[in-house]
Each structure stands twice: as C-alpha cells, then as structure tokens.
Amino acid sequence: MPDPIIITRKLRREFIRDQFHVIALEDVDLEVQPAEFVALMGPSGSGKSTLLHLIAAMDRPTSGEIKALGTDLRALSDRQIARWRNQHIGFVFQSFNLIPVLTALENVELPLRLTKLSRKDRLEHARTALELVGLGDRVHHLPRQLSGGQEQRVAIARAIVTDPDIILADEPTGNLDAGSALEVLTLLSRLNKEFSKTVVLVTHDPHAAQFASHTRHLEKGQLLPNSVAV
Amino acid sequence: MIRHWPLVLKNGLRNKRRTTLTVCSIAVSLCVLGVFLAIYHSFYFTDATPEQAFRLVTRNKVSLAQVMPTSYRQKIEQVSGVREVMVMQWYGGEYKDPKNMFARMAIEPARFFAMFPEIKLAEEQKLAFQRERSACLLGRELAEKFNLKVGDRVTLKGDIFPGTLEFTVRGVYDNTRRPADEMFFNIQYLYESLPQRRRDFAGTFAVLADSPDSVPRVAREIDALFRNSPVQTKTETEREFELSFISFLGNVKAFLLSVCGAVTFTILLVSANTMAMSVRERVKEVGILKTLGFTRGAIMGIILGEAALIALLGGILGWCLALLLTQGLRYAPVMIGEIKMLTLRPSVTVVLLAASLIIGIASALIPAWGASRTTIVDAMRHSG
Ligand SMILES: Nc1ncnc2c1ncn2[C@@H]1O[C@H](COP(=O)(O)OP(=O)(O)O)[C@@H](O)[C@H]1O
Ligand SMILES: [Mg+2]
C-alpha cells in the first residue's frame, strides 16, 4: 500500500467562545490513501466541516498531528500554508461562494493569479476547467446569471484549475436539486476516477455516499471505526 | 497588488452608487482643500515679482488708515539707493453701485510708469493720462467688465473723501504680472477737490530702490528718518505690504490651515466609514480568497488598493473642480490680487493627490487589517 495522502493522529480541535467550550473533534485518527474517494458522514454538528478545514489547513488543530502530502501542516507559517493550499487543495463549499462581481471565467482564473502563469495560460487553463465541468458556453456569465447547479460546477472548476492533489467538498450538493446534485457527484467521481484526484466528500446524503469508495462516520467529534457498516 | 488590479477595479465598481457618492464627497472636500492650499501657497510661498523686488511701501506706523505729510517725500528721496518716490492714496468711493468693487488709487502720473514698469499701455495714452488732470487709467479687465473705452466718463462718489469726482478714461492698461483690474488717477485732482488745509497728505509712499539688494537697508533707513517725528513710518517690501493686507483679515494662516485640517479629517472619517461598510459586506469573500491561497498581504493590498483607487479618483475630480473654481475666482469681486491670480501650482497638485491617496489608504487601513486577520473559518461562518 502506498503512503496515505492524509494522515491525522489524535487530532483534536476545541472551540472556546465566551463561556462555551466545544470539543469539535476528539482524537481523530484518519488515513486517506491517494486517489481514494472518501465520504465523510455524520449528523450536523459532529465535526465534519471542522475536520475538512483542518485537512485544508484553513484552521489549525488544538492538538494532535496532521500530515497531508507528507507535509506536517502544523510546521508551516501562514504564508506557506496559503501557498500550499493554493497548490495542493481544491475546496468546494456548500454555498457555492463565487465572487459575485467576477464572471465564471474570472472566478475560475482567480487561484491561478497566485501562480507564475501568464495571463494567456491562466485564461486557457480556466477555460479548460470550465469545459471539463460542462460550462464551456457560460464562461462570461456572472454568478447571478447561472443556476445553482451551474454555480457549483463553476466552484468545482475553480477548485480543480490549479490541478490540486486533494479535492475537499463540504456538502457540495446540500443546496442543489436532485438533478444538479447528481451532476456534481458524477463530476467529483470522474475527477477521482479519470484524474486520480483524492476526494473527501462531506455529506448527509446516503445516496451521495454511494459515489465514494469508502465512507467514514463522525459522531460528536469522534471518528467511528472503519468497520462500521454503511 | 498590481496582479490583483482587475479584482480591485471590479470591487470598486461593485456598488456603483456608493462608489460614486464616495468619489464625489472626496472630490468636493479635496476641491475645497485644493483651493485653500492654492490660497495658502499664493499668500505664503509666492516670491515677489522681479519688479516688486525693487519696490518698498512706506506707511504710517500706527495704521494704514492714518496718513503722512507729503513733505516726507523729500526726506525719503535723500536716502541713498532710493531712485523714485511716489505718493499713493487709496480712494474708496463708489462707481454706480456699492457692489462694484475695484481698487481706485490716486497716484502721481509723472512718476507712475517708472515705478510700475509692469504696467503697459500705448505711449500716446500715457501722455494723454499725464496731460489731463481729470484723466484716469483703467485696467483692461476692469474696462471690459464695465464696458468702458477710452474717452468714456467715469464718476466716483466719495465715501472716505467728500464729493464726487468726474473722470475721462484716457488709457486702458495691461499688467504683465497680475490682473489689470485697478483704476488710477492723478492725486492732484483729488487734492483740488478738497479744502486747502486738507490737501497735504499721503496714504502711502511707493519707493523704488536702485537694486533689490539695497531694499532692506533702504527700509531701515527710511524708518530711522522719522523715528523721532510725531508721525512715524513703517517701511516694508511691497510683497510684505501685500501680505500685511491679508493679515488684516485676521490670522489667515491659522484659519487656512485649520480649514484644510478639518476638511481632511472629515473626509477621512467619511471614507473610513464607507470602507468599513464595504469590507464588512465582503468578509465572506475574503474567506474565499484566503481559501484559494491569497495571503494576508494580498488581501490587505486588494482592499487598500480599492480605497486608494476611489480616493485618487476623488482627488483627480477634486483637482479639476478646484481648477475651475480658481479660474472662476479671477472674475470674483474681491480686491485681493492673490485670490484673483490663484493657480493650482504643481506643488499644490502633488499635495492634493498625495492627500487623496493617504486619505484612501488611511481610511481603509483598519478594516483591511481586520479582514486580513480574520481566519477563514470565522470569515466563512459570517452570514452575509
Ligand atoms: N469557529 C467556531 N467557533 C465555535 N464553535 C465552532 C466553530 N466551528 C465549529 N464549531 C462547533 O464545533 C462543532 C462541530 O461543527 P462543524 O464541524 O461545523 O460540524 P458539522 O460540519 O459536522 O455540522 C459544532 O458544535 C460547532 O458549533
Ligand atoms: Mg458542516
């Protein structure tokens, strides 16, 4: 077996807000293999998003270890983390989170602005990514001129345009109708199968989980053992 | 930040009405700032003209409203380095309507043109003016404003002085240094209109020195002449004399500076409020950008860039307004030459644009700093 692409050991994240003390994640040991498609399930508030944020280095753990692509994320500075995330992570949110004043193409191009690519190359990459998600004919549309499903596909195009190793999707179908949801899940599955991207998909929906090669469950901040049946 | 220019631009245009209003309020404030800076500049940073550098003004030490005996002229002429001395008297009066404000000066025609070489007019008009007791000279701007030509009659009703004076326009002059908006006439004509015992006075003496270098010494020596006289004098360079005129208006310097300061501070608050609002609306987008790998520095740059862009736009617009206004003041009914000659010098332009940039950046500094420090998780939880 190759080395896991994501490893966490005794990962813990606590939030202290005013007098409330929330343990969002407790002793999470997770391993994800390269090119795996993992569905992360669990009730609301079980810590799924928190775990995804930690893997994306968007948040820092309270304690425990976390390694992705062999990098100890705790050791990186804020700048290094920003750069690392730009290169290696594609993140998809539940609410599509496009920049409203930018067209589909400009939204997708955005992460490439942090690279050394020329403008021409950036636009070409962005166009390719949009074609891949089936929106080659919508490049100059603003987010408000697109349907929810199309917006989410633009967000996926933006997540993959830098050719990241890991795609993290936090309930990407949560705001979509069944048809659009299916398109999005099919797309993630294709990215996993055809482009060997490692995908971690957070979802409530057992149907969605069927697209994954593995499913893991979180409950009250704890990762249930692998053996638990779906 | 340059890389993110398109984003900066689009962000700036996102809320067009707010951006327009902000640009306009900055423009108006900076226009005011520009005009006041221009006034300040022309009052306190403008050198004497080459002709002025030779001239001094002697007046009664007590106040400008008090006169001196004309016999002082002979004594002043004795001071070495003095080439010419001329009596000048401010004649208030009224032309047709009290609202018609312009300077009316009684002078000595025989000495006048040597004293003020910047005043230009045709030779035959000079001679006609010098020949005729009741002749007067009008600046071209003045003549045009009141539609007066050579040969026309001008009547001044006295206020400081009793009676009415009737003049014939014998010349229309140009001034190579300042607006030609004054009226000059022969002081003898004024004297003759007064009772014998009230004739022998001089409001000021214009003194022409043989070189700019001797001006300070001449000033000292003139005043020394009259130190023990009942009527003491105060002699200044013509430029200083003009400035003392301005200080008649009160502490102009402090006034101008405090207006400039208040305007700058107000607009800083206004644009700080706008920037805080527009950044607050975009917390989530900041989270998105960070998720995509934008660093804190880049976020700061984008927000500051937007603020600087808006403020600079306001600054440029304000500069244009100030330009219009200063040009307009040329035709304003004020008698302070400086105000009429206001121009937005390069230094004022630079200060204005720099001020707008600083206002823009300073107003966005705190919101930009705050946004750049918000963690992604906090930003994304922000409902908006
Ligand atoms: N930034 C935060 N501040 C305070 N509490 C938080 C924060 N993020 C998450 N939590 C808490 O941590 C727990 C797990 O949240 P989350 O990971 O969002 O759950 P899920 O995504 O599974 O619904 C919840 O109780 C939530 O209230
Ligand atoms: Mg969640």
- Kindly report, residue by residue over A163-198, the tens digit of the pLDDT: 999 999 999 999 999 999 999 999 999 999 999 999
B24 assigned to some structural domain = yes
Residue whose CA is at the smallest distance from ligand 1 atom 20: A45
Residue A68: strand, helix, or coil = strand
pLDDT at B334: 64
Rounded to the nearest 10 degrees, the angle between the axes of helix B346-373 and helix B283-291 is 70
Q: Is residue A200 part of a domain?
A: yes
Minimum-distance CB partner of B295 among A56, A82, A110: A82
Is residue A14 included in any domain, yes or no?
Answer: no
Last residue of a domain, one of B184, B199, B230: B230
Contacts of B14 in chain A (CB under 8 A): 100-101
Measured from the Cα of B377, ligand 1's closest atom is 1
Whether residues B37 and B113 share a domain: the answer is: no
- Distance between CA B96 and CA B155 in Å, rounded? 8
B321 in a structural domain: yes
Report yes or no on A8 lying in a domain.
no
Are A114 and B294 in contact (CB < 8 Å)?
A: yes
- A152, part of any domain: yes
Residue A230 confidence (pLDDT): 44
Which domain does A194 fall in, by range?
Answer: 34-61+77-229
A16-20, B129-133, B205-209, B259-263: segment of lowest average pLDDT: A16-20
The per-residue pLDDT for B98 is 86
In this structure, the answer to whether residues B85 and B206 fall within a common structural domain is: yes
Q: Whose CA is nearest to atom 21 of ligand 1?
A: A49
Structure confidence at residue A229 as a pLDDT band (50, 70, 90): very low
Does residue B130 lie in a domain region? yes
Q: How many Cα atoms are found within 13 Å in the side-chain-facing hemisphere of B59?
A: 20
As given in the structure block, the two tokens for residue B363 are: 């107003």
Same domain, yes or no, for B290 and B322?
yes
Q: Is residue B243 part of a domain?
A: no
Mean pLDDT for the stretch of residues B155-159: 92
Q: At what angle do helices B296-329 and A78-88 cross, to 10 degrees?
A: 100
Tracing tokens 């079980």 back to the chain, one arrives at A46
Residue A59, classified by CB atoms within 10 Å of its CB into exposed (0-12), middle (13-18) or buried (19+), is: buried
Whether B221 and B323 share a structural domain: no
pTM to 2 decimals?
Answer: 0.76
In a domain, B56, yes or no: no
Give how many domains chain A has, as a whole number.
1
Q: Among A18, A23, A48, A50, which residue has the most ligand 1 atoms within 8 Å of its CB, making it the best to mutate?
A: A50
Examine the domain organization and report whether B112 and B172 are in the same domain: yes
Given a cut of 60, is residue A228 above it in pLDDT? no
Integer distance in angstroms from the first to the last C-alpha of chain A? 24
Q: Which residues of B touch A98 (CB under 8 A)?
A: 288
- Provide the number of structural domains found in chain B: 2
User: Please, what sign has the CA dihedral across residues B243, B245, B250, B255?
Assistant: negative
In a domain, A194, yes or no: yes
Structural domain includes residue B237: no
Element (H, E) at B153: strand B153-157
Measure Cα distances from B90 to A53, A96, B183 in Å. Answer: 83, 78, 10
Where do the H-state alpha helices sit in B175-295? Answer: 187-192, 215-225, 238-247, 252-280, 283-291
A25 within a domain of the structure (yes/no): no
**Owning domain of residue B270:** 2-47+250-383
Handedness of CA B211, B214, B219, B222 (dihedral sign): negative
